[in-house]
Copies of this chain bind each other. A is one copy, B any other.
């Protein structure tokens, strides 16, 4: 079988806040945890299915200092059906909005995106379904 992408991993300070954000607000499911002596990995996916890409969020026990974001990693991205409504809902739920829904144009193609911020400061791109064109692929 071919190599397959399965997860993106980043580090979080407060699992409760992350669970609230990724599950209650973005609609992901907690699909499992890995417990180490000094850390816990929390796994989230849209469906409880081995073929679904996951987020692996690592909580180093006892750490309270925010992580440094650097300037290399940028974001993870999700398709949503109703970008305006989704962002309005997140906003009223207290989520920080880094970019309000905006229509971008690249090579004469319009697509609609927004950026929100997770509890640790990671940027999450939300894209209106059906507007993202990558080569011959429309997402």
Judge whether A10 and B74 touch: CB under 8 Å. Answer: yes
- Nearest 9 pairs of A and B residues by beta carbon: A32-B135, A70-B70, A67-B72, A73-B73, A32-B134, A68-B70, A9-B74, A53-B53, A8-B8
Closest to A30 in B: B135
Which residues of A pack against B, CB within 8 Å?
1-11, 26-28, 30-36, 43, 45-50, 52-56, 58, 67-81, 86, 106-107, 120-122, 125, 127, 129, 132-139
Supplied contacts A11-B72, A56-B74, 9 more A-B pairs, CB within 8 Å:
A5-B52, A5-B77, A6-B132, A9-B73, A48-B137, A67-B71, A68-B71, A69-B70, A69-B72
Q: Using Cβ atoms and an 8 Å threshold, which residues of chain B touch A48?
A: 135-137
| Distance (whole angstroms) from the CB of A17 to the closest CB of chain B | 14
Q: Is the CB of A43 within 8 A of B135?
A: yes
Can you spell out 14 A-B residue pairs with CB atoms less than 8 angstroms apart?
A: A2-B46, A2-B47, A3-B26, A3-B46, A3-B80, A5-B45, A5-B52, A6-B132, A7-B76, A9-B76, A31-B134, A31-B137, A34-B106, A43-B135
Alpha-carbon gap, A127 to B7, bound state (A): 11
